[in-house]
Chain A
């Protein structure tokens, strides 16, 4: 289990204010909320890619992998991008793994292509493959299918769930898709103005929200 307490300010504005938010091992959490509600900032804090006041407990010795909202594709081949996190002495065995992964994400036809020349959706799928090539304890994905078409989204989700099953990894992801939260998440965390306004089991939060902010946020999807 991990527990995060975090406060982040940009200038005078508090953009994240979280107190003792807990995540259980092996579960899947969806972060939802409007633009600027703090989803990315929370993931950045968990991944420790930004400085903030507070701390994350329970991460010592744990392997945390984080995929930013805008992933950077290295200007090497797609295959080399996917194996980038692998230790050099194991690169040959990891290559085979990476190839299988690319195939399962329907990206194998691109494996020799320069990754910096890919389309937005292709880049995002390569970035996902790069996350999944090694086992992790925690996977933090910031809108992993924001630029994907419907079919690619479903394929990615399938590969992701398969990965979680095999590794027992905890997944925390941000999304603007309520349907995706329903498909993947055990629990949903609703953010607003940098604060957690509601959290609970996915069905409960999405079907019977208790908080007014959650309710008005969810109502937009029915319009």
Chain B
């Protein structure tokens, strides 16, 4: 059986183990990318809109944090939340929640950096008008987000792609426990380690299919918004 056949068999077999892995993956990827989007867009927007001393330094720091190594984030989050760590009492170690937290730490700077970079030119063009109209903060925010909707969809897709494909951090803080914290990527890594290449590739194909689905939805959303815009 080649990997494609195996993937097909896996998907059609309604294997409860696979279903659990997919469910955990989606929960982790959607939650963490959504939270990171919320936080990151907020940070990116605040930096893009406001002029303050040290802004350039903040931007450089933000862009540097975009390259945070997942394994390092995993280890740091692990230490913070392990039994002896400051957040140990929360008992989150080896849970999906902690995987989401690690992913948020990893992806929020990426969203913030991308938001700042992609919305800055737009914000610069809008700023005099927004200030001149004395709009309330929520209104200004809503208007900028609305004008930047295409860029933000692209930012979200990138965040989601990172969330669903990441393995280093969630492996460490989630522990890759079967039926609990095992995701598609950690399962792929495990199968690769045990030599089951075709299962690893089959899982990879399913993962790509999910990513394709999300991108298609986003693409349709963009087309729909463009149509309405004319």
Interface residues of A (CB under 8 A from B): 44, 47-49, 51, 63-68, 70-72, 74-76, 84-85, 114, 116-117, 127, 130, 140
B230 within 8 A of A: yes
Interface residues of B (CB under 8 A from A): 51, 125-135, 139, 143, 146-147, 229-230
Which residues does chain A contribute within 8 Å of B134, judged by CB atoms?
A: 63-65, 85
B230 close to A117 (CB less than 8 A): yes
B129 close to A71 (CB less than 8 A): yes
User: Which of A48, A68, A75 is the one whose CB lies under 8 Å from B129?
Assistant: A68
B147 close to A75 (CB less than 8 A): yes
A85 close to B133 (CB less than 8 A): yes
B135 close to A72 (CB less than 8 A): no
**Smallest distance from the beta carbon of B76 to chain A beta carbons, Å?**
38
B128 close to A76 (CB less than 8 A): no
Given contacts A66-B133, A68-B129, A84-B135, could you give 7 more A-B pairs where the C-beta distance is less than 8 Å?
A65-B133, A66-B128, A66-B132, A70-B128, A72-B130, A75-B229, A85-B133
User: Which of B51, B127, B230 is the one whose CB lies under 8 Å from A114?
Assistant: B230
Which residues does chain A contribute within 8 Å of B129, judged by CB atoms?
A: 67-68, 71-72, 127
The docked-state distance in angstroms from the alpha carbon of A120 to that of B195 is 65
A65 close to B132 (CB less than 8 A): yes
**Smallest distance from the beta carbon of B225 to chain A beta carbons, Å?**
10
User: Which of B133, B146, B230 is the one whose CB lies under 8 Å from A130?
Assistant: B133
Count of A-B contacts with CB under 8 A?
A: 52
The docked-state distance in angstroms from the alpha carbon of A68 to that of B131 is 10
With a 10 A CB-CB cut-off, give which of A65, A72, A74, A76 has the most chain B CB atoms: A72
Which residues does chain B contribute within 8 Å of A72, judged by CB atoms?
A: 125-126, 128-130
The docked-state distance in angstroms from the alpha carbon of A67 to that of B132 is 6
B135 close to A85 (CB less than 8 A): yes
Instruction: Return the chain B residue nearest A88 by Cβ.
Output: B139
**Smallest distance from the beta carbon of A59 to chain B beta carbons, Å?**
12
B131 close to A84 (CB less than 8 A): no
**Smallest distance from the beta carbon of B172 to chain A beta carbons, Å?**
44
Instruction: Return the chain B residue nearest A116 by Cβ.
Output: B229
Instruction: Return the chain B residue nearest A130 by Cβ.
Output: B133
**Smallest distance from the beta carbon of A80 to chain B beta carbons, Å?**
10
Which residues does chain B contribute within 8 Å of A64, judged by CB atoms?
A: 134
B229 close to A47 (CB less than 8 A): no
A47 close to B131 (CB less than 8 A): yes
User: Which of A49, A51, A116 is the one whose CB lies under 8 Å from B128?
Assistant: A49
The docked-state distance in angstroms from the alpha carbon of A51 to that of B134 is 16
A66 close to B131 (CB less than 8 A): yes
6 contacts between A and B (CB under 8 A): A65-B132, A70-B125, A70-B128, A85-B133, A85-B135, A116-B229
B128 close to A44 (CB less than 8 A): yes
Which residues does chain A contribute within 8 Å of B229, judged by CB atoms?
A: 75, 114, 116
B133 close to A84 (CB less than 8 A): yes
User: Which of A51, A84, A130 is the one whose CB lies under 8 Å from B51?
Assistant: A51
Which residues does chain B contribute within 8 Å of A74, judged by CB atoms?
A: 143, 146-147
The docked-state distance in angstroms from the alpha carbon of A67 to that of B146 is 21
A75 close to B146 (CB less than 8 A): yes
